[in-house]
Structure formats: structure tokens, C-alpha cells
Amino acid sequence: MTSIPHTNLIPSSAPSRGKVGMACLIFAECWFFAGFIVAYLFYIGKSSSGPMPREVIDIKPVLVNSAALIASSFTVIAALRGLARSHMGSFRFWMALTIVLGSYFIYGTAMEWRGFIVDHHLTISTNLFGTTYYSLVGFHAFHVIVGLCLLTTILVLSLMGHIHVVRDYLRVELVSWYWHFVDAVWIVVFTTVYIVGMRP
């Protein structure tokens, strides 16, 4: 028995299963969004009746919105840095700022939808533009809301004193991964809807 060499046993350097799990979830979500992005691209300019994207979309508020969401990716990094140094005050401040920025994004989307529905009478059943626009932007907004719920839960737990750096750093980091993913999807959605989709 002793003749079997054990020198070729690798030391256990496996990645954390939480990270693998979250990466897999994000991978699957990418393919979910891919379907809706392809649908949007496929149906650009195919609506049989108006309103068309160029008639209703006002790019300026969307740019402000996008800036807020992209900024929130950086504030969540700042929050994580605070947590790593056990500066709970800084962690909570940046976390709260992230939530405010994310909520502003949702508010902006709501205002855009309100304008479409009330002023332009564009709903999901009006034409193909409405169908693809509301489902793509709506699913993204839904993911932002899920992310906000996760971030808010962390903030509330930390205000109650239940966040411990050593035990919880990875968990908060994984939520930040999800948040970055939501942000990255928005860049693709923005390109699809507000740049590619605006061509005449």
C-alpha cells in the first residue's frame, strides 16, 4: 500500500462555490436577455403602425438615468472597499448611495413609460416596437428591482449590526457581482434600444 506515491496529490485550491454559483446564474441570465435583445433587433423598423422609436424617445433623460446606474456600479465597489476595511460607516454610506442611484434609475424608467403610455398611447400591444421595447426594458428594470431588494436587505441588516466582515464579505461581494451584471446588461440594452434602434 505504501508504494503509491502521494506526491501528485494537488492541494485544494478550488474556487468558492458561491462565486461559481453566482457566475453560473449570471451566465444563464445573459442567455435569457439574449433572446429579448435578438427579438428587439429582429423587429426594428417592422412595426406596421406608429408610434415609431424616433417619434417618442427622448434621449436626454435616458442619458441621465444611465449615468446614475453606471455610477452605482462604482459606489458599490466603494462600499465593498469600506467593508473590507471594516469601516462600517463608509460601507453604509456607499451602500445607501448605490440604492439611491438605482432607485433613481427605476424612477426615470417609470417616468419614461408614463410619457409613452399617457402622451403617445404606446403600450405593449400597440405595435412591435411597443412589444419588444416594454419586454426588454421591463425585464431589465425587473432585474434592477431585484438587485435593489438585495442591496436594501444588506443595508438594513448592517444597520441592525448583523453584517460581519469575515463571515459576510463574500456574500456582499456576490450581490455586487449581480449588480454589475445588471449594469452591464443596461449598456447592451441602451445600445440596442437607444442607438441601433433609433436609425431611420
Partner 1 sequence: MTTAPIHPTSETSIGFGSRVHSWVISVDHKKLGMMYIGAGLIFFMLGGIEATLMRLQLMKPLNDMLTPHGFNQMFTMHGTTMVFLVGMPVLLGFGNYLIPLMIGARDMAFPRLNAFGLWLFIFGGLLLYYSFIGGDGLYGMGGAPDVGWFAYSPLTSKAFSVGHATDYWILGIMVSGFGSMTTAINFMATILCMRCPGMTFMRMPLFVWLMFTVGILVLLALPVLTGAQVMLLFDRFLGAHFFDPQQQGSVIFWQHLFWFFGHPEVYILILPAFGMICEIIPVFSRKVIFGYPLMVAATLSIAFISLGVWVHHMFSVGLPPWLNSIFAASTFLIAVPTGMKMFNWIGTMWGGNIRFTVSMMFATGFLVMFLFGGLTGIMLAVVPFDWQLSDSYFVVGHFHYVLFGGTMLAVFSAVFYWFPKATGRLLSEPMGKWTFWMFMIGLTLTFFPMHLSGVLGMPRRVYTYQPGRGFELWNLISSSGVPFQIVGVLLLVTNIIKSLINGRVAGPDPWDAWTLEWATSSPPPSENFPKIPTCTSPRPLWDRKHPEDPDCFYE
In the complex with partner 1, which residue's Cβ is closer, 34 or 196?
Answer: 34
Query: At closest approach, how far in Å is the CB of 4 from partner 1?
Result: 5
Query: At closest approach, how far in Å is the CB of 94 from partner 1?
Result: 29
Position 166, amino acid: V
In the complex with partner 1, which residue's Cβ is closer, 2 or 60?
Answer: 2
Mention every residue, 6+ apart, whose C-beta is less than 8 A from residue 179.
Answer: 72, 73, 76, 98, 102, 147, 150, 151
Residue 160 main-chain phi, psi, to 5 deg: -85, 0
Query: At closest approach, how far in Å is the CB of 77 from partner 1?
Result: 25
Q: Helix, strand or coil for residue 103?
A: helix
154, 175 contact by CB (below 8 A): yes
**Cα-Cα-Cα-Cα dihedral sign, residues 47, 48, 51, 55:** positive
Applying CB under 8 A, which residues contact partner 1?
A: 1-6, 8-12, 14-17, 20-21, 24-25, 27-36, 39, 42-43, 46-48, 124-125, 127-128, 130-132, 134-135
In the complex with partner 1, which residue's Cβ is closer, 13 or 58?
Answer: 13
In the complex with partner 1, which residue's Cβ is closer, 31 or 166?
Answer: 31
